[in-house]
Amino acid sequence: MYALFKKELNGFLNSLIGYIVMVVFLLTIGLFLWVFPLQFNIFDFGYANVDGLFLLGPFVFLFLIPAITMRFFAEEKRSGTLELLMTQPLTDLQVILAKFFAGTVLVLFSLVPTLVYVYTVYQLGLPPGNLDLGSIWGSYIGLLMLGAAFVSIGIFSSSLSDNQIVSFILAVFLSFFMYMGFEFIYTFVISGKTGLLIQSLGLSDHYSSMSRGVIDTRDLVYFLSVMALFILLTKVRLESRKW
């Protein structure tokens, strides 16, 4: 499994795909934080904080992560190498996990350079260092967990089709629904206790909770459950080829 994980990760890092993803993420966030005269602009806002990074990050991930994962199984099926891969001394679950961890590590790599933004804002504060670091670290953990959840959704979407474009569209749709869909249902359709229960099923609710700097076990269990669900669905999908 480690060999396959290393192969998948090297496949990104030895090509332009991985670097394009990281550059696009950093450039997009950087433009909104420092250049575009919008509410996220740090200079225009007048406060030393990086809230814009964690508000924009999920929406950038909604498109970038499906672009990463769309080839995982779709390309294998299109090129006919999936059956060859499955003949290796690996279980279906090990193959899925190797691809999942490779995608998650790439998400982590894209987040690490954003620490430059945090350091810059840290120095711009009056006095320097006037930042809520607890909230920032909680937001980073939340964004990593959210990215990993999107990776699991993208892998499942990739297993549904041998067309990468179809896999990309499915991943964007499912990721958006899991992130904002339950929030929309709560806002426009259901209210009261039932509405709050529906809202708690969405990724957005738990991500917002972690962004406040409080790492609640319930939020971690939720994210891990979402990942496990889509990994299990991918496993069922791959096993269906034997039926």
Q: What region, left, alpha or beta, does residue 216 occupy, with left being phi > 0 and alpha being psi -120 to 50 degrees?
A: beta
> Looking at residue 82, what is its pLDDT?
65
pLDDT digits (tens, 9 = 90+) for 24-39: 888 888 888 877 777 7
> Looking at residue 46, what is its pLDDT?
62
Indicate if the pLDDT at residue 70 is higher than 80. Answer: yes
Is the model more confident about 197 or about 243? Answer: 197
- State both tokens at 55: 């508000």
> Looking at residue 39, what is its pLDDT?
74
Burial of 72 (0-12, 13-18, 19+ CB in 10 A): buried
Domain ranges of the chain: 2-238
Q: Evaluate whether 62 touches 150 at the Cβ level (below 8 Å).
A: yes
Q: What is the mean pLDDT of residues 166-194?
A: 83
Indicate if the pLDDT at residue 81 is higher than 70. Answer: no
Indicate if the pLDDT at residue 216 is higher than 90. Answer: no
Q: Residue 176 to residues 100, 102, 179: CA-CA distances in angstroms?
A: 19, 22, 5
pTM above 0.95, yes or no: no
Q: Evaluate whether 34 touches 43 at the Cβ level (below 8 Å).
A: yes
pLDDT band at 227 (very low <50, low <70, confident <90, very high): very high
Q: What is the mean pLDDT of residues 114-142?
A: 81
Q: Residue 108 to residues 42, 126, 205: CA-CA distances in angstroms?
A: 24, 30, 22
State what percent of residues in the chain have pLDDT above 90: 30
> Looking at residue 14, what is its pLDDT?
78
Average model confidence (pLDDT) for the chain?
83
Indicate if the pLDDT at residue 136 is higher than 80. Answer: yes
For 57-67, b/e burial (b = at least 16 CB within 10 A) is bbebbbbbbbb
Please report the sign of the dihedral spanned by the C-alpha atoms of residue 212, residue 51, residue 189, residue 179.
Answer: negative
Is the model more confident about 171 or about 127? Answer: 171
State what percent of residues in the chain have pLDDT above 70: 87
Distance CA 227, CA 222 (A): 9
